[in-house]
Amino acid sequence: MKTFISLLLTLLIYGCNATPEVYLAKDAVEVNEDTVGQYWKHKNTEYSFTINNISPDKQNKDGYVSVRYLIDSNGNTFQPEVLESHPKGMWDAFALKAVKHQQFVYAEENHSRIPVYYTQKLTFKGVK
């Protein structure tokens, strides 16, 4: 009985920590800021990050990062890649972290949950 309970707990712990896998109900289409809303809607729109690992002389700099990623048929994000950033490289890690935590729900028009490749521009405000 102890072995069974241990095995069950192990399966529950690892099952809850499992990384989702990409699910594509159809071929993904390319979208941009203007057209993404026809397919997917953000569940969350604001993010806040601690900037402890950025040197004090850069903490007050605003910036942006353009990231392209896949929104699969379940609304999860995968395969993020930085296309452009300014100041170069400063906000990249934060943008990739933000993309990882974004969740989407399918738009009313997207009842078949068509996956998309989305290029999003994320803006960052430095601490003033």
Task: Average the pLDDT over 66-95 and give the result.
Answer: 95
Q: Which domains are seen in the chain, by residue range?
A: 22-124 (3.30.2420.10)
Burial class (CB in 10 A: 0-12, 13-18, 19+), 104: buried
Separation of alpha carbons 83 and 32, rounded Å: 13
Position 105 pLDDT exceeds 50: yes
The one-letter amino acid at 58: K
Terminal-residue alpha carbon distance, the chain: 59
Separation of alpha carbons 72 and 113, rounded Å: 8
Average pLDDT, the chain: 82
Beta-strand ranges (E) seen in 32-115 are 40-42, 63-71, 77-86, 104-106
Position 43 pLDDT exceeds 80: yes
- Worst-scoring range by mean pLDDT, 32-41, 42-51, 84-93? 42-51
What integer pLDDT is reported at residue 52 of this predicted model?
61
Residue-wise pLDDT for 64-74, tens only, equals 999 999 999 99
Q: Which residue has the higher pLDDT, 14 or 120?
A: 120
